[in-house]
Chains A and B, each alone.
Chain A
Amino acid sequence: MFDLDKWQEIFSTIRQNKLRTFLTAFSVAWGIIMLVILLGSGYGLENGVREEFEGDAVNYLSVNPGMTSKAYKGTKPGKPVSFTNEDRDLLTRMPGVTASSARTRIFGSGVISYKNEYGAFDIFCCHPEYAQVESIRMIEGRFLNQADIQHTRKVVSLGKIVADALFKNGEKPLGKYIRVNDVLFLVVGVFDDPGGDRDMSRIYIPISTAQKAFNRGNSINNVCVIMDGATPEDSRKAEEEIKQTLSARHHFDPTDTRALFIYNTINEYQRFMQLFAGIRIFIWFIGVGTIIAGIVGVSNIMMIVVKERTKEIGIRKSMGATPSSIVGLILQESVLITALAGYAGLVIGVVLLEVVGNNMPNVDYFSNPEIKLDVAVSATVLLVVAGMIAGFVPARRAASVKPVDALRDE
């Protein structure tokens, strides 16, 4: 393989046939560029969706009350369902539920201020367990705790963006009082949320405090039920059970699809993962197809090469070239061209992905298109093997031509 003479032989023939070499190289490089872009985009899609999910936990069910659409035991359709603390307590006792939180959202309506700084941010009223739903990370201080709920403390945990908006000039938010709809709340923590800007532009206050301070009685908007370790199967069963339990309590038809809206993240996550498995198979299918097309292309070109060089092969044979030296000559040329072109395609593909990735506007469900090193390396190895396969058939044919026939070729 490292016979310098052979390489010199090959380089001299490549120099002699620049256009042909270029065409072969181009078809291989193109195949690899396509493969890299395909794989990279697939990965980008997967990354994007995964990020979208990472914003929140994927082990909870969000249960929202709706409005009945079916008559049930004498009640006419159109009756709104509304939740109270008891609904949360009821669902918390369900088997498989590891934690739960009520949630009442007060959207943008609340004016929140500190000294002269103010802004309208979402107010989330919930239990301490809600931190698990949002995968919140505390930057300083703490989130809400059970004591806050029990004693209806006027405490608040601020999203990073809210804290930055209210506390200027390096002032520390912890221990300060901010005004929430004209009620003073003590800041006990500032948090970060991988869910993005929207999730960081909110504040969390204890649900019990909110009910008391803003005259909401014992009503809540929503219950989030966390089922740690539950399988998608478990989660679907739980969905049914929630419907049964709540329909009995609120007197609606359990088959009424508009009385309750349940967002099952466990199930959704599984569905997306299945989708990715499908997409990955599809991409590899196309990728392998592209490579096979490349191999066939190279093989065809090498076939033409062999035909063009029949006379030369005849001359070489009359000088004492063995069949294996002819096979080696053609094979090595084919491997060299595919390997170099494949590598070039790989580099171009990766650079293209990089450029696209860096200049792309922030789109949901697509981020960081990239190709993993091991995938790139195995693609290159695959290519060299492909080059060998592509060269082998023509090389064998070249070696088997009878010298007298080869010499007669014009």
Chain B
Amino acid sequence: MIHIKELHKSYITGTNSLHVLKGIDLSIASGEFVSIMGSSGSGKSTLLNILGILDNYDKGNYRLDGNLIAKMSEKKAAAFRNQLIGFVFQSFNLISFKNALENVALPLYYQKVSRRKRNLIAMEYLDKMGLAEWAHHMPNELSGGQKQRVAIARALISKPKVILADEPTGALDTQTSYEVMDILKEVNGQGITILIVTHEHDIAAMTNRIIRLRDGVIAEDIRNGEVKKMKEMAFAAAN
């Protein structure tokens, strides 16, 4: 699903150049549930933004679902984002003056689905998140967990192949974080590839693969069984 080779990214501010990603090689197969870890400032968000075609990269090569993602028109990028990717953000990023239903329906608006039809579908997705009765509430009337569930519904409504989530539980308490992770696990169970950025071990432990960034390169790439082991370690540490 995702193939990157020798990916480089620098930020240039004034005369300073900050080399953040220094040659990332990474392949993620369809249906994987991956978490990206690393200390603050290690470039996790930078990587995720490039994967989401929200930002460009300097060097290397990125393929998403077989499409080479390089310099392209903003229009084409918009189409890729709309059809292939669903975003979940730490700060939810709901549009404040739209109610839950309208927020969820937004990606379908950009697919030119009729208002009636997209509201119907949005209602369905909200219902799946257990938020049917909150459909006509504004974001500021919802709790953090509810907001994130609305955001997940919005990310799913366009039937994307990949969900990219930058610290989706970063603003939530433990209980709610686990609920959100349960939902993401269920989504992953339907075959959708999921990438989350997190710095919480227990959250990362709920995924099937952990990638650790350090100094702009991948320092560790742990899979399946190993993850389970880590989960136990985390459990032991918690007790």
Residues of A within 8 A of B (CB): 4-5, 8-9, 12-13, 15-16, 311-312, 314-325, 399, 402-404, 407
Contacts and interface: CB of A to CB of B under 8 A. Distances in A.
A319 B82 contact: yes
B79 A404 contact: no
B95 A321 contact: no
B158 interface: yes
A404 B54 contact: yes
Given A315-B93, A321-B78, A404-B49, 14 more contacts: A16-B96, A315-B95, A316-B95, A318-B52, A318-B81, A319-B107, A319-B110, A320-B78, A322-B75, A325-B110, A399-B74, A402-B54, A403-B55, A404-B55
Max chain B Cβ within 10 angstroms of own Cβ: one of A12, A311, A317: A317
A317 B81 contact: yes
B78 to A, nearest CB: 5
A12 B87 contact: no
A318 B154 CA distance: 11
A324 B75 CA distance: 8
B83 interface: yes
B98 interface: yes
A318 B106 contact: no
B115 interface: yes
A399 B97 CA distance: 20
A5 B109 contact: yes
B74 A323 contact: yes
A317 B94 CA distance: 13
B33 interface: no
15 contacts: A5-B109, A8-B115, A312-B95, A315-B94, A317-B78, A318-B52, A318-B81, A318-B93, A319-B158, A321-B78, A322-B79, A323-B74, A323-B78, A399-B74, A403-B54
Interface in B65-123: 74-75, 78-79, 81-83, 87, 89, 93-98, 102, 106-107, 109-111, 115
Q: List 4 tightest A-B contacts by C-beta distance, closest first.
A: A320-B82, A16-B97, A404-B55, A320-B110
Nearest to B84: A320
Interface residues of B, number: 28
Interface string B6-26: 000000000000000000000
Max chain A Cβ within 10 angstroms of own Cβ: one of B83, B89, B95: B95
Contacts of A404: 49, 54-55
A320 B81 contact: yes
Nearest to A16: B97
A319 B74 contact: no
A8 B154 CA distance: 19
Contacts of B83: 320
Interface in B37-55: 49, 52, 54-55
Nearest to A320: B82
Contact of A320 (B49, B97, B107): B107
A338 B154 CA distance: 34
A312 B96 CA distance: 9
Contacts of B107: 319-320
A167 to B, nearest CB: 77
Interface in B109-142: 109-111, 115
A324 B49 CA distance: 22
Given A5-B109, A316-B106, A317-B81, A322 B54 contact: no
A322 B109 contact: no
A5 B115 contact: yes
Nearest to A321: B110
Contacts of B106: 316, 319
Nearest to B55: A404
Nearest to A17: B97
Given A316-B106, A317-B78, A407 B158 contact: no
B22 to A, nearest CB: 19
Contacts of B94: 315
B82 to A, nearest CB: 2
Contacts of B82: 319-320
Contacts of A403: 54-55
A318 B80 CA distance: 10
Nearest to B106: A319
A8 B116 CA distance: 13
Contacts of B87: 318-319
Nearest to A406: B54
Contacts of B81: 317-320
A318 B158 contact: no
Contacts of A317: 54, 78, 81
A366 to B, nearest CB: 50
B153 to A, nearest CB: 13
Given A5-B115, A8-B115, A407-B93, A319 B154 contact: yes
A410 to B, nearest CB: 9
A122 B120 CA distance: 88
Given A12-B97, A315-B95, A323 B54 contact: no
Contacts of B154: 319
Contacts of A9: 109
A322 B110 contact: yes
Nearest to B76: A322
A400 to B, nearest CB: 8
Contacts of A16: 96-97
A407 B79 contact: no
Contacts of B98: 12
Max chain A Cβ within 10 angstroms of own Cβ: one of B83, B110, B115, B154: B110
Given A323-B74, A323-B75, A325-B110, A318 B97 contact: no
